[in-house]
Amino acid sequence: SQTIHQWPATLVQPVGSPLSLECTVEGTSNPNLYWYRQAAGRGLQLLFYSVGIGQISSEVPQNLSASRPQDRQFILSSKKLLLSDSGFYLCASISGVRGNTIYFGEGSWLTVV
């Protein structure tokens, strides 16, 4: 089975500072990777997904960006954080052309102050 490592687990950042959340996947190759954000008491909002190296699909216009420099690495970034970027960020992975099991990372709690 897959293992997803996501870090940092918790961070507090000032408004206007940069952000980098990293996600790496073990136990599979060529996964489909996803970044979600979950605000307090809300559902999972799809931010980005990637079906391969360098391939990024963006779902929501915002000041965040994503990159996939390696097959099993997915990075979420921002040049300047906003207060509204606070939330719980989850990386997820599905493998195989017809993969049917999704694995989640442990999540990263971001508080922008």
Partner 1 sequence: GESVGLHLPTLSVQEGDNSIINCAYSNSASDYFIWYKQESGKGPQFIIDIRSNMDKRQGQRVTVLLNKTVKHLSLQIAATQPGDSAVYFCAERTNDYKLSFGAGTTVTVRA
Q: In the complex, which residues of this chain contact partner 1 (CB under 8 A)?
A: 32, 34, 36, 42-46, 49, 51, 57, 59, 90, 92, 94, 100-102, 104-107
Nearest distance from residue 58's CB to partner 1, in Å? 11
Residue 63 Cβ, how far from partner 1 at the closest point, in Å?
A: 21
The minimum distance between CB 79 and partner 1, in angstroms, equals: 25
CA 29 – CA 15 distance, rounded (Å)? 36
Q: Where are the beta strands (DSSP E) in 1-113?
A: 3-7, 10-13, 19-26, 32-38, 45-52, 55-58, 64-70, 73-78, 87-94, 102-104, 108-112
Label the pairing between strands 102-104 and 55-58: unpaired
Nearer to partner 1, 40 or 83 (CB): 40
For partner 1, which is the closer residue by CB, 58 or 77? 58
Q: Output 9 or 12, the one with its CB closest to partner 1.
A: 9
Q: Of the two residues 73 and 88, which places its CB atom closer to partner 1 in the complex?
A: 88
Integer angstrom CA distances of residue 68 from 7, 23, 51, 81: 15, 10, 9, 20
